[in-house]
Amino acid sequence: MQSAQDLAHAVQRVTRNVERVIVGKAEQVTFSLIAVICRGHILIEDVPGVGKTVLTKAIARSIGCTFKRIQFTPDLLPSDVTGVSVYNQKTGNFEFRPGPVMAQIVLADEVNRATPKTQSALLEAMEESQVTVDGISYSLPEPFMVMATQNPIEYEGTFPLPEAQLDRFMINISLGYPKAAEEINILDSHQHHHPLQDLAQIMAAEELLYIQQQVRTIHVDASIREYIVAITHATRQHQNVYLGASPRGSLALCRGVQALAAIRGRGYAIPDDVKLLAKPTLAHRLIVTPAARVRAITSTHILDEILQSVPVPHAWVTGGKGR
């Protein structure tokens, strides 16, 4: 069994490798790797050209996973995602031709451009790691994760993701524009060729599977679990929230703090881990009331308010490691 320090060192090597391509976005890279370690899925919501696709490719190359990209368009069919059964005249049988979802890391690019019927083709894959075609279920490879992107600016010709699908994404992040100095570094690194071409594999997929198992052993004290549940319950009772975070959100936050603790070399989670991950794991699960939206109140504002109002467990305030 690896120690927490060994796990931290392994993940930090991958982080440094990805940051060779994704400049100045250390927190977003960490959040992405947390989802990878927790077998979760990521929704990257941002404007075009800030590195959403490059981030996905960099992670896939760093951990030695197979990678497939699906460009979602209004005319994309569910079978274009999952695959189809084709009749073989020689054998007289139907043969399954797997679709691009049968990869370890799948980039669902501009996922909100596809129709709801095609979007739903991802639901079974994301939740159960399998796809069903013509009544036959096919298991997806391990590890498996979906990294979906959507453009928050363009609304014409798009179909907003339903709440049921949003809830299946463990983490929602936004890369944002780089600072001026960071953008100069990007120009320099792209002068001769794309730096993604030089990115080496840091970890094998088998090592990632082992890390995914070991992260589950990180200790989450009962007081931390109660703190997580208090936060999610507060989202359900807030006056500006029509629909709060689900139990799946509590579970995602709990698993996320285990991964964050491991990345930081600790064998136990602390309240600061919960505070850091609350917004990326819960904000996209909240439905804000229409009256609050008119007043420009967002789910992140609501979570900031909740984090300030929900008391930190007493044992951690006094410097303890549990009760």
Percent of the chain with pLDDT over 70: 94
Phi, psi of 131 (to 5 degrees): -130, 150
Has residue 183 got a pLDDT over 60?
A: yes
Q: In this predicted structure, what is the pLDDT of residue 164?
A: 79
Distance CA 126, CA 107 (A): 12
Q: What is the pLDDT of residue 153?
A: 65
Looking at residue 194, the DSSP 8-state letter turns out to be: -
Higher pLDDT, 151 or 226: 226
Q: Which pLDDT tens digit goes with each residue over 9-19?
A: 888 888 888 88
What pLDDT shows up at residue 315?
65
Rounded to two decimals, the pTM is 0.87
Distances (CA, A) of 6 to 26, 31, 38, 287: 20, 19, 17, 40
- The stretch 228-257 carries a mean pLDDT of 92
Residues of the chain by 3-state class (helix, strand, coil), percent to 5: 50, 15, 35
Domains in the chain with CATH codes: 4-213 (3.40.50.300), 218-317 (1.10.8.80)
The CB density around residue 237, as the number of other CB atoms within 10 Å, is 9
The string of pLDDT tens digits covering residues 38-83 is 999 999 988 777 788 888 889 988 988 889 999 988 888 888 888 8
User: For residue 251, what pLDDT band results from cuts at 50, 70 and 90?
Assistant: very high
> What is the pLDDT at residue 249?
93
Average pLDDT, the chain: 86
Q: Which two tokens stand for residue 44?
A: 């990257």
More confident residue, 196 or 30: 30
pLDDT tens for 260-282 read 999 998 889 999 999 999 999 99
Tens-place pLDDT, residues 189-201: 877 778 788 888 8
Question: What does the pLDDT read at residue 41?
Answer: 93
In this prediction, residue 172 carries a pLDDT of 93
Q: Is the pLDDT of residue 304 over 70?
A: yes
User: How high is the pLDDT of residue 314?
Assistant: 73
Predicted pLDDT at 293 = 87
Residue 323 has pLDDT above 50, yes or no: no
